Structure 1
């Protein structure tokens, strides 16, 4: 009994000392109470994806400022999203067989002390096109883009956490 308890205690201490935390644990420092998301269009799909991921990470925030938490608010200013495609392969008929989708995200983070940090990254996916199944491929493309936006939102939160920790 004592041996099992000691094993659990040592494992817990080892995980805590290496910085391990559950994925849904709060991703921002404890001195930050609010995450303000600003974009040219508040109905942009990336804004919605980011707000959805903020609920998963239990981050308080949104697209409107909270005056009571102004001193501890981190602001993310999203620039319009960019989606590009790069040709990877073609069929013998000359029709496109495969694309690489490039989802570009650029944003500026303004920390509570007023320091601003501009960041950008890309999310890449390969996408196979089939001209015989246009409707199905259109739905698949929308699903892939939605997944890319969620990945971008996760990445923003993780980068935000590491950028703030590095200050």
Structure 2
């Protein structure tokens, strides 16, 4: 009997989570129409971590990256990522106690005829972190990890914005 109650409780929890739309972070796919699944990436630095993250995020959502510009239906024109770190608060020794980290990038989308379809749009990610002035090496590593997470969030945000734009242009 206790096993039956436990199984029933587990199934109830799973059903409730599924019905409320819960999904694990990073697992939610973004649907784009077939026409928008063929893209070419235009960037000044194709081997940067940001460009690689964009390619990976888009590919995970069904986007095929064309090798040549003319083989793609759309071009994603990606500007460089901009990272900024500023002090939010100071401690009693007048040292930074908290940082604000921001990362942004501008992008646009052009069609096969090189006509601007989606104008320049800026995506932003903002994070805050506490600082321990006695642990400089640890904080440098934490900033490196946060920058990587922010880059992934920025790429996902760009993917969602393009998907939303594609759906709106198809419906409208």
TM bin, normalised by shorter chain, reads 0.7 to 0.9
- Of 42-51 and 150-159, deviating more is 42-51
Aligned counterpart, 1:94? 94
1 CA distance for matches of 2:80 and 2:128?
22
Give the 5 Å matches for 1:103-118: 103-112=103-112, 114-116=115-117, 117-118=119-120
Aligned counterpart, 2:129? 127
1 CA distance for matches of 2:120 and 2:154?
15
1 CA distance for matches of 2:168 and 2:37?
18
User: Once the two structures are superposed, what CA deviation does each residue of 1:120-153 show, in whole Å capped at 9, x if it has no partner?
Assistant: 1210000212111111111111110000010011
The list of structure 1 runs, each at least 4 consecutive aligned residues, that deviate by more than 4 angstroms after superposition, is none
Q: TM-score, normalised by structure 1?
A: 0.76
1 CA distance for matches of 2:93 and 2:160?
44
How many correspondences in the alignment?
Answer: 142
1:60 and 2:61 aligned: no
Q: TM-score, normalised by structure 2?
A: 0.74
Deviation at 1:24, TM superposition (A): 2.6
1:81 and 2:85 aligned: no
Aligned counterpart, 2:45? 41
- Of 138-147 and 35-44, deviating more is 35-44
Question: Aligned Cα RMSD in Å?
Answer: 2.0
2 CA distance for matches of 1:76 and 1:88?
34
2 CA distance for matches of 1:44 and 1:149?
11
Gaps of 5+ in 1: 1-14, 16-21
Aligned counterpart, 1:8? none
Aligned counterpart, 2:55? 51
Deviation at 1:66, TM superposition (A): 5.7
Aligned counterpart, 1:7? none
8 Å contact kept, 1:23–1:57: no
